[in-house]
Structure 1
Amino acid sequence: MVSTGVGSKIKRALGLQEPPTNPLNAKASEIVTRHEPDPTVTEWLKEVTPSGSQVQSYFVQLFPFLGWIMHYNKKWFLGDLVAGITVGAVVIPQGMGYARLANLPVQFGLYTSFVGVLIYWLFATSKDISIGPVAVMSTLVGTIITDVQSIHPGIPEVQIAMSIAVACGGIVTFMGLARLGFIVDFIPLPSIAAFTTGSAITISSGLIKQLLGETADFSTRGPAYRVIIDSLKHLPTSSRYDAAMGVSALGMLYLIRIGCSYGARKHPQHAKTFFFISSLRAAMVIFTFTAISAAVNIHHPNRPVFAIVGAIPRGFQDAGVPKLSSDAIKTFAPQLPACVIVLLLEHIAISKSFGRINNYTIDPSQELIAIGITNLLGPFLGGYTATGSFSRSAIQSKSGARTPFAGVITAIVVLIALYALTEVLCFTPKASLAGVIIHAVGDLITSPNTIYQFWLIAPSDAIIFAIGLLVALVDTIPNSIYATVALSLLVFLFRHAKAHGQFLARTWIGPQDAQRPLFLPADGCPELSLEQPRPGVFVYQFPEGLSYSNSNHYTELLVQTILRSTRCAGSQIYATKGDRPWNDPGFSDKDHESSNSRLPLLRAVVLDFSCVNHVDVTCIQNLMDVQKQLDHRTTAPAVQWHFANIKNRWTKRALAAAGFGYPHTLTETTVLEGNAVSESEFSSEDIKDVEKGIFSHDKRSQCVQSCEKRVSVESSLMGVLEREDRPFFHVDLISAMESVDAYFDQDLAVRFDV
């Protein structure tokens, strides 16, 4: 590249140096660029600067419902109606129970259920997700409320919960608007599985006290193992009436599910009926036990036989501008990352899953906007932190939801419950509600078969899952998330930093008259007859990409193998022993005459960049250092560096700026004056021994013909896909080896003066 005008003057003033150009070309102006010019900074700025249409598209995409609402029809509405009513019947008892987990009155669970499904459809890219209160997030909110009140006892529970929702909503909304949804991809499946399993066990253990009506005073917010021990220790304090209402409700839930599964298998023609019965089992159980409770306690609601939910305000009694507490926010700020991760994990994980099942694609960033706006606006109607629900989303999907508008139907069902059913729902037994929640979170536990599949696919992932589950049971759920994500990132970084490069060898496939080369790992296919490239030529592949973190590890293996497999010019390079560097011990005369003399000289290195999409300054400098180091192994001409399968133009530009891409000559610091190898070194005997007789004297004419043929092929290929000023950048390994053969043949032909 030749700079002109103002740019040239600035470069001269600052002392900036142009990248080296092909020394084989007479003049830079004669360089012919075929198809692919170097990228420029101006081009990069144009790529990253959004255009007017892109800005307009960005704002339109914030409201995905605009793309389908005009096509809404009667058939879609019927599907949404059935799904919305079904989910509404389920979310009412679940919302009440989850509010108890959050240490809040039950009506706040209904508020959250209403706001979540009502707002989500405006921003949704998934038709199956049902946003509202969930078990894990409710448990986390309840723990935070307890922790804050231990420091600031005067702050009400509702105020703390609203502060959590607004803080989480603001963070998640910003992430969505900044299109940071890809961050979720850094949380692997073992982390999610450990998180859900640990959460399910922790929640279930914390509800045993309420399920059995234990009257002993012990905390249910500690580690799961401690809560289980305390619950078993205080079993004698259980209330028989509460235990009857709780255990029988839990047993009935499992009986209905098992019976419906059996009926669907025996009578597949009625499978859909059994499905709806199974989906509504939570609502049926709650309403049944609420009716029993009302019949028993209707005449003495203030002295119930067993614990009940109690009075529920009619309508939105807590609607209004939320009162936030700065003291509360400062106290729970260290726990905000865990809250945000829980929101992202539950929602994005299930939305992606249902997208794959039902053949559509979600936009993670847009989904973050949806749950962020929900949590920002929810507190104005009394809602606390909400996200996507595993169980309700599965019901909505299987109930036949056609669009996100099903959430509006669910909101109407919850609204009816808030205004028409509060006088009945107040008799809901707390033990039965605990049974419903335990049954719901039981589906979150990872099955043993899934864990076994982790072990079969990647043992390290199974170990990460086990560690995450252990931390969740003996410590806290947030720490379990941190531990699994940190371990997964460490494993990823270790694999990347310690990635093993591999040398490739060649075999031939196809019919005898039309064979083509195939390059495979040199040590990976012992059953195949692989042949090495020409002696002194090495083909090396970077299977994990190339960056500052692993470049040194890659090149270390490359250099060690080359030093072990080639002979150094040795004593011929240095005029006296005193000229030899301290780190080059050289060879004894005996070694030089025996093993070293039988090894080939290093001629060319071919690097396969098929897995390299980006390079940085560190890895380019590393390649330059290796090039300089290997140049000491040979004499003129210098080692030729060929690059195959470079996909990225910026990678080509970086390599060219470092002097790669064309033949280079040894500098004076590399080859000392008067120490070139004499032509006698390349006798026919040496060639027979070292080069395995490929280029004996009687085949010099064939060598020249082969050289001319390969140069012709290489030139024609370059003319279509490559630049003439960078002949060592190749489209694939086949053209790279053709180029190596051509230069190799030319060099030997010149030395024999053919």
Structure 2
Amino acid sequence: MFWRRASTPTVGDSEQFVEPIHYVERKASSQEWLKENVVPTRAKTVAYAKSLFPIATWIYRYNWTWFAGDLVAGATIGVVVIPQGMAYAKLAQLPPEFGLYSSFIGCALYFLFSTSKDITIGPVAVMSTLMGHIITEVIPRLPEYKDTPWVVAGCMSVVLGCVVTGMGLLRLGFIVDFIPLPAIAAFMTGSALNIAMGQIPALMGNNTTKGYDTRAATYLVFGNFFKYIKHCNINAAVGLSALFLLYAIRWSCGYAGRRWPQRERMFFFINTLRTGFVILLYTLISYLVNRNHRDKPKFSILGTVPRGFQHMMVPTVNSRILSEVVGKIPSAIIVLVIEHISISKSFGRINNYTISPDQELIAIGVTNIFGPFFGAYPATGSFSRTAIKSKAGVRTPLAGVITAAIVVIAIYALPPVFYYISNALLAAVIIHAVGDLIPTPSTVKMFWKVSPFEFVIFWAGVIVSLFSSIDNGIYTTVATSAALLLFRIAKARGKFVGVVKVYDRPVPGLVDPGNADQRGTGARNVFVPLDHSDGVNPSIRPKEPLTGVFIYRLNEGYLYPNAVHFTDCMVTEIKARTRPGVLNPYGSLGNRPWNDPGPRHKTEADVDPTLPVLRAVILDFSGVSHVDVTSLQNLVDVRNQLDRYADSP
């Protein structure tokens, strides 16, 4: 029933309500729901097609101010992604040029489908390492691809791209929300430690020692490092000094930015370009040292990098490759999706805009489908490059085109320079980059304070990643997070509530004396849990309902996983606080159920006769958003059970 406001308020009253209007809610039907939510219409189809290309909503407003910001940010990322791309390609067990191909195609295509201005798609450490493990594992079983492992990487990229694109087209981006932050942090931390430890042998120069498997579990790589430490060589001097210089520049620029805040932006760009500067410096040193020793360089160098797109091809997708990599697809999808969506959501909140997870899935998928045609391997959003791009002042996703142009220039113009890049230097770049993936101690401490269960999940994921593999670490965190979610849903408890009277008291200085609404000190009834579990002042005793009447509030969705637990808790409490309508409903001992331990003789009575008889149960469904068939049937069963208990007709 609704009330219609009078057209002419009475003098002195703020508003007057008269004449109730009766309204009968229209009965909903399944056909109606299907028509509104499932059956496509012309308008919905057009809107869906437009949503696939977000660029159409802003490109016509592009201006020179935006271009200036995009130019600076795009050029900055171009300088960063070139060395990172080559380094990450080595993690994937691929030649360095494949990192450049992946960097190019990710930046060149993403702007067409993106809803995030900050994200940079390209090779990332975790996905590259996972790809490296896949190639190392399957190539012995696919000897025909021993000299062309990028064929396996290309097949994997196309398959992942198709799956992720399908998820986006079906609007399944919400699935990412089921994986909590501690689970994401766990496999990122485990992956970072795995990657860093795997690069230490290359950093120290003993990675080529016979019998030293740098692809083994992290703890084995760590132990074997000390076993083979005597084989370290001059590469260690290059790698360690480069790593020290990278951190020194980072710390110095951070300190200088705080010390001279008016020049903070200048120090930010110096800090951002530190990787490019260090690589140029050490490449120059390498050139001076090794230019007369190209056949036998003094320390390990990258070697020949082909100019241009030498590996453009139609990807090979066949049953032989698929049968070998199919078991790795789930973990690869998790890495692609989780890393990208979590980063894009985070920077969307930082910069006050909203991203579409579904559209971002399409962007990742399309990039990985078309990438292998240019020689790329699986790519996704990069946290470090996204943070740099955001702080550099990017204005639109079109900045990726600037980055792609710089990468193309590098592919065609810089291969002679790449020849002298030290492998130990690239190891230092990787170790320096993955350090940002590890959460700070304060973050881990926060996990413990907020949710000890998720703290355990975090460490379980890290430990499994270190002692087994990144794949198993991912599965551990996702599986345990899902189990915890289901447990919390299944074990949700309702609350018996009572009423307290709440009075409004004006606060001096906060109330307008002329406002009649604020002058009132009327009371209102509020229903709160009888056990004070919601933090209500424990000295306040809520008034319980009438004798034999209970009000039970359900605080979550009432669905099949938790329906029985909700009602079992309710029935148990009701029986503890009431007595049956008939003290001995079975008459004789023989009529009693076998599992009823009640009184053995008729004269015995273990029921307190002073307890009230159950009269009514009121269910508060104000906090319930969904029900299902199983939960509704459970309600019917409980009603019948309580009717028999109360001997109600």
TM-score by length of 1: 0.77
> Alignment identity in percent?
49
Inter-partner Cα distance in structure 2 for 1:119 and 1:458:
40
Give the aligned residue type for 1:392: R
1:514 to 522, 536, 545: 522
**1:571–1:586 CA contact under 8 A, matched in 2:** no
Q: Does 1:196 align with 2:208?
A: no
Q: Partner of 1:488 in structure 2?
A: 481
Distance 1:139 1:571, change over 3 A: closer
Equivalent residue of 2:243, what SS? helix
Post-superposition offset of 1:546? 1.2
Query: After superposition, where does 1:50-65 map in structure 2 within 5 Å?
Result: 50-65=40-55
Q: Partner of 1:523 in structure 2?
A: 531
Inter-partner Cα distance in structure 2 for 1:396 and 1:567:
69
1:216 to 184, 196, 209: 209
Inter-partner Cα distance in structure 1 for 2:607 and 2:504:
39
Post-superposition offset of 1:313? 1.0
Q: Does 1:337 align with 2:330?
A: yes
Q: Partner of 2:112 in structure 1?
A: 122
Inter-partner Cα distance in structure 1 for 2:189 and 2:379:
20
Inter-partner Cα distance in structure 2 for 1:352 and 1:543:
28
- Backbone CA RMSD of aligned residues: 2.0
Query: After superposition, where does 1:234-273 map in structure 2 within 5 Å?
Result: 234-240=228-234, 242-273=235-266
Inter-partner Cα distance in structure 1 for 2:224 and 2:22:
78
Q: Partner of 1:559 in structure 2?
A: 571
Q: Does 1:158 align with 2:154?
A: no
Query: After superposition, where does 1:627-642 map in structure 2 within 5 Å?
Result: 627-634=639-646, 638=648
Post-superposition offset of 1:326? 3.2
Moved more, 557-566 or 358-367: 557-566
1:103 to 90, 93, 100: 93
**1:83–1:399 CA contact under 8 A, matched in 2:** yes
Give the aligned residue type for 2:484: V
**2:581–2:614 CA contact under 8 A, matched in 1:** no
Equivalent residue of 1:530, what SS? coil
1:174 to 166, 170, 191: 166
Give the aligned residue type for 1:179: R
Equivalent residue of 2:150, what SS? helix
Inter-partner Cα distance in structure 1 for 2:460 and 2:263:
44
Inter-partner Cα distance in structure 2 for 1:323 and 1:542:
55
Post-superposition offset of 1:187? 1.3
**1:159–1:325 CA contact under 8 A, matched in 2:** no
Distance 1:584 1:632, change over 3 A: farther
Give the aligned residue type for 1:466: W
Inter-partner Cα distance in structure 2 for 1:103 and 1:267:
43
Q: Partner of 1:369 in structure 2?
A: 362
Q: Partner of 2:64 in structure 1?
A: 74
Equivalent residue of 2:501, what SS? strand
Give the aligned residue type for 2:103: S
Query: After superposition, where does 1:563-712 map in structure 2 within 5 Å?
Result: 563-570=575-582, 577=588, 581-582=592-593, 583=596, 585=598, 596-634=608-646, 638=648, 666=649
Q: Partner of 2:561 in structure 1?
A: 549
**1:567–1:600 CA contact under 8 A, matched in 2:** yes
**1:601–1:633 CA contact under 8 A, matched in 2:** no
Question: For 1:213-238, what per-residue CA distance to the aligned partner results, in whole angstroms no more than 9, with x for missing partners?
Answer: 11412111111111111112111101
2:178 to 186, 202, 224: 186
Post-superposition offset of 1:312? 1.1
2:34 to 11, 36, 45: 45
**2:104–2:404 CA contact under 8 A, matched in 1:** yes
Number of residues of Structure 1 aligned to a counterpart in Structure 2: 603
Inter-partner Cα distance in structure 2 for 1:212 and 1:569:
82
Inter-partner Cα distance in structure 1 for 2:497 and 2:402:
61
**1:159–1:323 CA contact under 8 A, matched in 2:** yes
Post-superposition offset of 1:469? 0.3
Equivalent residue of 2:101, what SS? helix
Equivalent residue of 1:539, what SS? strand
Larger Rg: 1
Give the aligned residue type for 1:245: V
Q: Does 1:465 align with 2:458?
A: yes
Q: Partner of 2:301 in structure 1?
A: 308
Equivalent residue of 2:202, what SS? helix
Inter-partner Cα distance in structure 1 for 2:135 and 2:578:
70
Question: For 1:401-451, what per-residue CA distance to the aligned partner results, in whole angstroms no more than 9, with x for missing partners?
Answer: 000000000001111111111111111111111101110001111111101
1:205 to 197, 208, 213: 197
Distance 1:590 1:506, change over 3 A: farther
**1:102–1:143 CA contact under 8 A, matched in 2:** yes
Equivalent residue of 2:365, what SS? helix
**2:289–2:298 CA contact under 8 A, matched in 1:** yes
Inter-partner Cα distance in structure 2 for 1:327 and 1:397:
42
Equivalent residue of 1:564, what SS? helix
Q: Partner of 2:432 in structure 1?
A: 439
Q: Partner of 1:698 in structure 2?
A: none
Distance 1:235 1:572, change over 3 A: closer
Inter-partner Cα distance in structure 2 for 1:550 and 1:511:
37
Q: Which runs of 5+ in 2 are unaligned?
A: 1-20, 506-520
Question: For 1:207-265, what per-residue CA distance to the aligned partner results, in whole angstroms no more than 9, with x for missing partners?
Answer: 1111111141211111111111111211110112x111111110000000010011011
Q: Partner of 1:228 in structure 2?
A: 222
Inter-partner Cα distance in structure 1 for 2:440 and 2:627:
42
Inter-partner Cα distance in structure 1 for 2:317 and 2:576:
70
Q: Partner of 1:387 in structure 2?
A: 380
Moved more, 144-153 or 398-407: 144-153
Q: Does 1:141 align with 2:149?
A: no
Question: For 1:691-741, what per-residue CA distance to the aligned partner results, in whole angstroms no more than 9, with x for missing partners?
Answer: xxxxxxxxxxxxxxxxxxxxxxxxxxxxxxxxxxxxxxxxxxxxxxxxxxx
Distance 1:578 1:290, change over 3 A: closer
**1:570–1:587 CA contact under 8 A, matched in 2:** no
**1:570–1:586 CA contact under 8 A, matched in 2:** no
Post-superposition offset of 1:115? 0.6
Give the aligned residue type for 2:223: I
**1:160–1:325 CA contact under 8 A, matched in 2:** no
Query: After superposition, where does 1:279-290 map in structure 2 within 5 Å?
Result: 279-290=272-283
Q: Which runs of 5+ in 1 are unaligned?
A: 1-31, 639-665, 667-754
**2:245–2:278 CA contact under 8 A, matched in 1:** yes
Moved more, 604-613 or 247-256: 604-613
Post-superposition offset of 1:320? 2.5
Equivalent residue of 2:496, what SS? strand
Inter-partner Cα distance in structure 1 for 2:155 and 2:201:
29
**2:52–2:113 CA contact under 8 A, matched in 1:** yes
2:78 to 70, 80, 88: 88
**1:162–1:323 CA contact under 8 A, matched in 2:** yes
Post-superposition offset of 1:596? 3.5
Q: Does 1:412 align with 2:405?
A: yes
**1:290–1:428 CA contact under 8 A, matched in 2:** yes
Distance 1:507 1:326, change over 3 A: same
Moved more, 617-626 or 76-85: 617-626
Q: Partner of 1:750 in structure 2?
A: none
Post-superposition offset of 1:290? 0.8
TM-score by length of 2: 0.90
Inter-partner Cα distance in structure 2 for 1:560 and 1:282:
65
Inter-partner Cα distance in structure 2 for 1:610 and 1:481:
38
Equivalent residue of 1:507, what SS? strand
